[in-house]
Amino acid sequence: MSSHDVPSKTLDQIEFDNRFTNQLPADPSEVVRPRQVEHAAYSRVAPTATAGPVTVAVAAEVAELLELAPGEVETQRFADVFSGNELLEGMDPFAMAYAGHQFGNFAGQLGDGRAIGLGEVRTSDGDHWMLQLKGAGPTPYSRRADGLAVLRSSIREFLCSEAMYHLGVPTTRALSLIRTGDQVMRDMLYDGNPALEPGAVVCRVAPTFIRFGNFELFSWREEIDELRQLAAFTIETEFPEIASAHEDSGSPEAVAAFFAEVARRTATMAVHWMRVGFVHGVMNTDNMSILGLTIDYGPYGWLEDFDPGWTPNTTDASHKRYQFGNQPQIAQWNLVQLANALYPLVEEVEPLQAGIAVFAEAFEIEWNQMMADKLGFDSLEEEHGKLVNELFEVLQLTETDMTIFYRQLADVPVADGSVDIDAAIDETLAAAYYVPSELTDDVRQRIGTWLESYAAQIAKLGRSDADRKVAMNAVNPKFVLRNYLAQVAIDKAEAGDDSLVVELLEVLRRPYDEQPGNEYFAQPRPEWARTKVGCSMLSCSS
């Protein structure tokens, strides 16, 4: 269906069919206080009313997915609905129950502590989109928290969801960012200095928000009937090709096939994270989507200086479990926990081990192709492996901006097998180096030697510099949601000016384009942002 064919619906014309709440076991109690919820996939709970909702920004492409007429998103009623003040006919609000491993340790029941699903939209072409409000108030899974969200974390979630989508990274989407008019108390750095901050709500959109932890909860409690019901439901609704190949969607064979597909998608997601320099920051199993989508944008960050050991999460600062370079291994570890949760349905280790092997194989194949694409090769041949390993060492010799380096490398002339090293380092690649004084003779020699090897390999391919640049620029973005850009937008918004949020959303829609006039958004991290809170490290409250 082309964009011209998309029906333009009013809010009242949106259709909900709510498969999750209709087909899975519900919590019989509607008590909102924190409590253990057994034998249930979710609890019904209404969003908390807000004082004065005002729309900050809307992702037009997401509104189009839901077939909403453009004019609808500009109404006060849109702000009322997507802040939680009004429920549309057919909505069935709920909070999911799930467990999870947090920083490597099983944490028991977790659940949607500040997210409330509104229901599932069914579009005219049969697609399903679950709508979820983040920051819409307490649920039975809120533990000691208030279930609300503040403007700074909501801006980060909204912008990054859409930035990742336009980068080609599998992700949940974000429809809207709405100020609530309420003040929310937060201790941003967990240092005993709480302060009131403006509240906000993001409407997140995905085919489903089911996570690894949904299966872990039932398995941990030995609620095997519910575990099988959840597996069969997930396979039938989200993996129809597997359902159609098996008579019983809850059979051991179907569940094993489902797990293998989850593993493959998770590998693809992890490769994309490494491609663009994204660091999730809190890869707990309750933050892992069974669709292989990036989910839960909390203390994430973008790798600026190429440091595989960097994590943006203050909670993880000492152990660095979720550092950039660990993400593929953590993804696999998380899959092992999902396999353990599914074991009661399969009752054999081998089919689940085969799923883990699918992850390893898919990751290796896709990683190799990704690195080939980033460097302008057709594929990553054996002789390129040493070149890639040396590049990762060279990038760490001096503080080097990952995004700028790859983008500028496409502009270094190498097609004839030779390279002007001084021009490459001092002109073309210069913007990628944060501390020029660190470019000592030894460092320059290592960079130069690598560039010569790279030029020799490109010359073997017979690829012109012009063709190579087009290919490389298609996978190496010019614009990413740099940590300091998000913080500048937050600072302005907290002072009452939302314009940079809207401007960033527009720039990040075209991350691979040159965008003349928007060079500011592609600049390296300024020195003032090196250690500023929000630019270098964030807490889970962020």
Q: At what angle do helices 349-375 and 327-346 cross, to 10 degrees?
A: 150
Polymer length of the chain:
542
The candidate with the shortest Cα–Cα distance to 394, out of 321, 454, 437, is 454
How is residue 51 annotated by DSSP? S
State CA 539 to chain mean position distance: 17
Catalytic residues: 286
Q: What is the rounded distance in angstroms from the CA atom of residue 327 to the CA atom of residue 477? A: 20
Q: What angle do CA 511, 513, 516 make, to 5 degrees?
A: 115
Q: At what angle do helices 327-346 and 224-238 cross, to 10 degrees?
A: 120
| 3-state SS, residue 11 | helix
Q: What angle do CA 82, 26, 289 make, to 5 degrees?
A: 60
Give 328's contacts (C-beta < 8 A, 6+ positions apart): 270, 271, 274, 363, 367
Q: What is the rounded distance in angstroms from the CA atom of residue 286 to the CA atom of residue 210? A: 9
Burial of 510 (0-12, 13-18, 19+ CB in 10 A): middle
Whether 69 contacts 187, CB under 8 Å: no
Using the structure block, give the residue that is written with the tokens 């928007």.
518
Q: Where are the beta strands (DSSP E) in 229-368?
A: 278-279, 301-302
Handedness of CA 445, 449, 455, 456 (dihedral sign): positive
Q: Which two tokens stand for residue 7?
A: 């029906």
